Amino acid sequence: NAGVTQTPKFQVLKTGQSMTLQCAQDMNHNSMYWYRQDPGMGLRLIYYSASEGTTDKGEVPNGYNVSRLNKREFSLRLESAAPSQTSVYFCASRGGFSSYNEQFFGPGTRLTVL
């Protein structure tokens, strides 16, 4: 049982390049999330998917797109990377809809945009 996995672990891009961050969970969770974490700031929600087939914007969606490929996989795409997108990106998943259900996080992708 791997939990939440993310690829790649590290990535360096040049301004204007595109890339897709991959996330998968094996816990049969309905909800999946993408966050970014910057120094001195809390985790900020980029996009989430409450269930397979649905996606919604979070607090900081500009410059990103997402795809909920199936129940297991949720990808984050940067179409034209900018230095402001240098950050650590975390994927999370959550089972059920109870307020008591916590999120499970992946190990993160450290992205640098030059």
Partner 1 sequence: EDQVTQSPEALRLQEGESSSLNCSYTVSGLRGLFWYRQDPGKGPEFLFTLYSAGEEKEKERLKATLTKKESFLHITAPKPEDSATYLCAVQAGGYGQNFVFGPGTRLSVLP
Residues that bind partner 1 (CB under 8 A): 4, 31, 33, 35, 40-45, 48, 50, 56, 90, 92, 97, 99-100, 102-108
Taking the C-alpha atoms of residue 15 and residue 114, their distance in angstroms, rounded to an integer, is 6
* DSSP letter for each residue of 11-28: EEE-TT--EEEEEEESS-
State the minimum distance, in angstroms, from the CB of residue 42 to partner 1: 3
State the minimum distance, in angstroms, from the CB of residue 63 to partner 1: 20
Between 14 and 98, CB nearer to partner 1:
98
Between 12 and 79, CB nearer to partner 1:
12
Between 17 and 44, CB nearer to partner 1:
44
Sign of the dihedral defined by the CA atoms of residues 64, 18, 27, 71, in that order:
positive
Q: What is the DSSP letter of 73?
A: B
Between 36 and 113, CB nearer to partner 1:
36
Q: What is the DSSP letter of 79?
A: S
